[in-house]
Amino acid sequence: MNWDDLKFFLMVSRTGSIRAAASALGVNHATVSRRINSFEESLGERLFERSAKGYTCTAAGEEIFLEASYLEERLNRVERKVAGNNQTMSGDIRVTLPDLIASRLLMPDFADFCELYPDIELEIIESASTLNLANREADVALRLCDKPPEYLVGRRLARLHRSCYVSRQLLPKFEAQIEHTDGAFNWIGWDDKMRRPVGEIAKNFPRFNSKHKIMSAQLQEQACVNGMGVGVLLCFCGDTNPDLVRIPPYTSEAKYDLWILNHPDMRDNAKIRTFIHFMIDRINDKKALIEGGAFTSPPS
């Protein structure tokens, strides 16, 4: 039995879709379909029921899925053990993290790391979801979460704070009208379920309504810059944007915990250990900015 066939089979079983499996595996969907059909023919068994809703395992498929999952974990464990003992400072490190953290906070540090260790190549995977570090979909994860999965090891590095911002050009108008207006300013909303921000910082402006629905932190920031409303933004974005200013009373509040995580089998891998220690030091240097403490209020 070809292990590659099992990898295709497992991914289709988990995603329920040829196209989703192809995307996860980084291949053409026709390749996945062909491999699944070939696998079924070689076994003489129909492993999936095809329907408009997708692919569902048959009884035979369920049995093979259980056995193949066990085999996959055993093979991944062997791979992690071998990789975990690797002491060379060369090769790839797969890093997964949210786009905003990479682009607005850590990309200069990634560049510095690559300059220090030119034989190491970073594969940076933008994702807000937890990729499977046990399957080595990634080697290191920077995650915003309250509690990481129990099978991973890591450290909480900082608490991401957020505050309220307005376009610098609109600040005089905001300061002149804030005590009297009922509708001149508004929150920039996310979606129908999150039109109004919650938390202590939002309680300072109970008369603000919400306008617009923008489901992207980076686009919310740009909407705020262009005067579409008051944005509740992460401090490391708002406080470093010269076109934005915090609004009184200038306070911030904690929203997310930032963790750096890896699989325990990889703790002795030289390049991964070096990368993690490097990033811990760099994030510690930015801790005041991340936690809203780098802001100084204007003189009264």
61-71 tens-digit pLDDT? 898 888 888 87
Pick from 12-21, 93-102, 184-193: least confident:
184-193
* Average model confidence (pLDDT) across the chain: 85
| pLDDT digit string, tens, across residues 16-41 | 989 888 888 888 889 999 989 888 88
Q: Give the separation between CA 152 and CA 83, rounded to whole angstroms.
A: 16
| Mean pLDDT value across residues 131-149 | 76
Residue 1: band (very low, low, confident or very high) from pLDDT cuts 50, 70, 90: low
- Is the pLDDT at 187 greater than 80? The verdict is yes
Those residues with Cβ within 8 angstroms of residue 78's Cβ, 6 or more apart along the chain or in another chain: none
Q: What is the pLDDT of residue 295?
A: 84
Q: What is the pLDDT of residue 167?
A: 95
| pLDDT digit string, tens, across residues 46-63 | 999 998 888 999 999 898
Q: What is the pLDDT of residue 44?
A: 87
User: Which residues belong to CATH 1.10.10.10 in the chain?
Assistant: 3-84
H or E element: which one contains 13?
A: helix 3-15
Residue 62 has which token pair? 């369920």
Q: What is the pLDDT of residue 132?
A: 55
Predicted structure pTM score: 0.69
Residue 10 has which token pair? 């497992």
Thinking of the domain 91-158+258-288, which architecture would CATH place it in?
3-Layer(aba) Sandwich (3.40)
Q: What is the DSSP letter of 299?
A: P
| Mean pLDDT value across residues 202-227 | 89
Percent of the chain with pLDDT over 70: 89
3-84 fold: Arc Repressor Mutant, subunit A (1.10.10)
The 10 Å CB-count burial string (b at 16+, else e) for 262-271 is bbebbeebeb
100 phi and psi, to 5 degrees?
-65, -40
CATH number of 160-255: 3.40.190.10
Asked if the peptide bond before residue 249 counts as cis, ω within 30 degrees of 0, the response is yes
Residue 129 has which token pair? 């979801």
Q: What is the pLDDT of residue 135?
A: 54
| Mean pLDDT value across residues 97-124 | 94
User: Which residues belong to CATH 3.40.190.10 in the chain?
Assistant: 91-158+258-288, 160-255
